Structure 1
């Protein structure tokens, strides 16, 4: 127990873009199995998070929300995910209704029942307020007079939950303080993720209370969406990031995904090109952002798997220093990001936001390794970058003087012996 939890960005999988309203116990178990069996867990993808649509009635010793008909035994589900060596995350809101229309963390003495849909009009029996916008388009108080989040937190702790996404707007400080306090007192370390679109004026305090804080509206699998959310975020968030404090630009739009607010019986490839997926992954890593997938894991193709298991890139996201990047607009559509890493090296990313190939000149006196191709080269000269793509370099540490001296001495001795043998000097 303690304040210092989740010191590097979380990595894992979230159900929203994959299953949305169709999430279930069986599907969560299948994702846990796929993360392990496909080998992603071995590269750090170690959590499974339910994002909305799990909630049923309030009952049990805490009077807390229980799973609905698709989640008949939440404790057994959490135990299964843990048995695969993974963490388990859940979702809620301080509002009466979640965004998808399920029960939230507050009630209002029956008023919400008058706002709920007749059973004959519900898409699911516990989707009581209807699909988004549902209750949210009505002119009513969204937070009920009876606060139930504390009871729910005690239930999550008993189930063994590791992570909770609390979703409402705006992420106000009084509500966040209350949630954070109840989490600290629940007897279990539970990572708190705030969503969505928090005010930058509250950035410092929000990230002193929560480990993650969403800084944008919901992301989409479109170039304009990832480009604007990734590149145009306020520098205020960069100033407050650090170990255990992660501004969250939302989920990775990589792989085969579904459509939010639908049951998603099938998946379609992301609308991002492979270069755009690579750019998003690189940008999120150099921002030390949470890395949350929401794609079909079992059916993942080889190119997506290779992208998501680039350990050298993941190491930049997971670097313990969590240093904010230095950003420089190089003109002509190129943006340069530089990130200091804990071992003294630097990550240098050249992003091309333009629709055509662009070039950028570097003048480093160091060698670097391009982390997508593996090529080692001098970081000096002109570097071409494809449209909507990125080149990412990690500088190579110069050899210690003692090592360099020994190498030189060895090489000199070797050459001297060879010269004696051949009679050449």
Structure 2
């Protein structure tokens, strides 16, 4: 065994590239190698050393396969996932992700041969991928043997980082995290251990896992919307205040993870389509996201398809017109969708229609009362229910033509048909739908007359448009110090309304940094390149909507 002094894993927040934002689950070996080569050539010198194949690398890319489908996975006789050789030709012959494969054996205990199905915990299936993941029973010797075989196989393939899904946050399985950490601690090579996703994370929960891992997500999935970026400010502040940034971790340090950077050429969540659109964040919003991630010392994993954005024919000048300005409301009001439930015989119940996103994914949208063509419709993704067999092997007719409806940016939450509450698009965006489950309250049928009927209540969903007050969103600031004595200061304007003048007094900086002598400062604002100097003991700048100012200061 190597001593702790010999290995310092994740001494800095890990940096690299992750395939999910650009390719969802469908990335091929060629696409992966193209991104890996460019990351190595252009970003490795800046510390970007990991290229991560995200989930479902073992799923066959064939008609009928999608993110939560059944029956398309490549697994060995012991229930361990293997790369799909159709997508990963170099894995042919059981080579996995390397030229060296490690073959295990069935686990025998007390004269019994245990199979993968014997060690699963079906009631702990992953809420957002019920047909994909479930917990392993670590109380069983067979369960522990399976996990050990799995991670030792990854190590034999040469894997340097593993991303463990659906065991943290609202899906917490501390037993499995603890045992996997124990396995990795005994592997005689660096192996970064990452947890994801991290909904409902608190500082207390972070303290429970930080010493077992090297990075752990503290939010749900982050996509290219301002709402997603803005949602990270409070939790990043809370984890920083709790001194969790760079705390002791598995054979090194651990870092709260704010998720990938959804910049460049992207796909959509849960899509069967590769990169096909440019990031929707404005330039100001991207700067705010990058600045917050840096101040919070989050792992930095670029999410876009790197060959596209680095190609000379796809230079920034070609698609700069796609980067719009944030929409601003008028007189503190904006119109949002309000979803409610009425009798299906009412005329207002009709107005739903299906839109095809690709050959395997559809969404259902309300267009019954749009006031103009520019108004965004209320949409939910459609997931066909898996046909279930009865005792005679016949399909249950009740499920034919019916489906669940899940939030566009959070596949793990589904629309409930309760008539007792209204659901606004703001709630929908925050993922306040209920976790998906086989419940008649979450089963819907779209009729030919454009009505959307709930199987439990028999009521139909309809959408109204309501006026909502728009809050300012507030102002935030972060401060940090550098290795050469410099002070980093960031102002963030979270407002949806207007440019805001933000300032800080040097007396405040001195209070926050009591070991520094701070009377006056001078330096530069990074994004504008402007020189700055304190005036009457104050640093001030006008900051655009959703934007930030980043100062590098030298104080005396």
TM-score by length of 1: 0.69
- Alignment of 1:242 onto 2:241: no
- Alignment of 1:292 onto 2:301: yes
Query: Which has the larger displacement, 63-72 or 261-270?
Result: 63-72
* Distance change in 2, residues 1:57/1:165 (3 Å): same
Matched positions, count: 328
Alignment equivalent of 1:14, drawn from 18, 32, 44: 18
**Aligned-partner Cα distance in 2 for 1:392–1:111:** 49
Alignment equivalent of 1:150, drawn from 148, 151, 161: 148
Q: Secondary structure at the match of 1:6?
A: coil
* Distance change in 2, residues 1:141/1:35 (3 Å): closer
**Aligned-partner Cα distance in 2 for 1:284–1:183:** 27
* Distance change in 2, residues 1:4/1:42 (3 Å): closer
1:133: how far off? 3.9
The residue aligned with 1:84 is: none
8 A Cα contact 2:266 2:305, kept in partner? yes
Q: Secondary structure at the match of 1:154?
A: helix
The residue aligned with 1:65 is: 81
1:373: how far off? 2.8
- Alignment of 1:385 onto 2:543: yes
- Alignment of 1:182 onto 2:183: yes
The residue aligned with 2:219 is: 216
The residue aligned with 1:103 is: none
**Aligned-partner Cα distance in 1 for 2:205–2:290:** 27
8 A Cα contact 1:171 1:199, kept in partner? no
8 A Cα contact 1:67 1:73, kept in partner? no
* Distance change in 2, residues 1:9/1:338 (3 Å): same
Cα distance per residue 1:73-106 (max 9 Å; x no partner): 35988669xxxxxxxxxxxxxxxxxxxxxxxxx9
**Aligned-partner Cα distance in 1 for 2:81–2:96:** 15
Structure 1 or 2: more helix by fraction: 1
When the two chains are superposed, the root-mean-square deviation of aligned CA atoms in Å is 3.3
Q: Secondary structure at the match of 2:175?
A: helix
8 A Cα contact 2:265 2:275, kept in partner? no
Query: Which has the larger displacement, 355-364 or 174-183?
Result: 355-364
Unaligned segments of structure 1, at least 5 residues: 81-105, 116-128, 305-330, 399-425
Cα distance per residue 1:322-349 (max 9 Å; x no partner): xxxxxxxxx9822111113333322100
Unaligned segments of structure 2, at least 5 residues: 59-72, 100-114, 248-252, 318-471, 507-519
- Alignment of 1:263 onto 2:272: yes
8 A Cα contact 2:218 2:235, kept in partner? no
**Aligned-partner Cα distance in 2 for 1:344–1:188:** 35
1:266: how far off? 3.6
Cα distance per residue 1:335-383 (max 9 Å; x no partner): 1111133333221000000121000223331112212233332133431
* Distance change in 2, residues 1:54/1:350 (3 Å): same
Cα distance per residue 1:109-143 (max 9 Å; x no partner): 3989x99xxxxxxxxxxxxx99954437xxx9643
Bigger RCO of structures 1 and 2 (CA < 8 A, at least 6 apart): 1
**Aligned-partner Cα distance in 2 for 1:66–1:110:** 19
Structure 1 or 2: more strand by fraction: 2
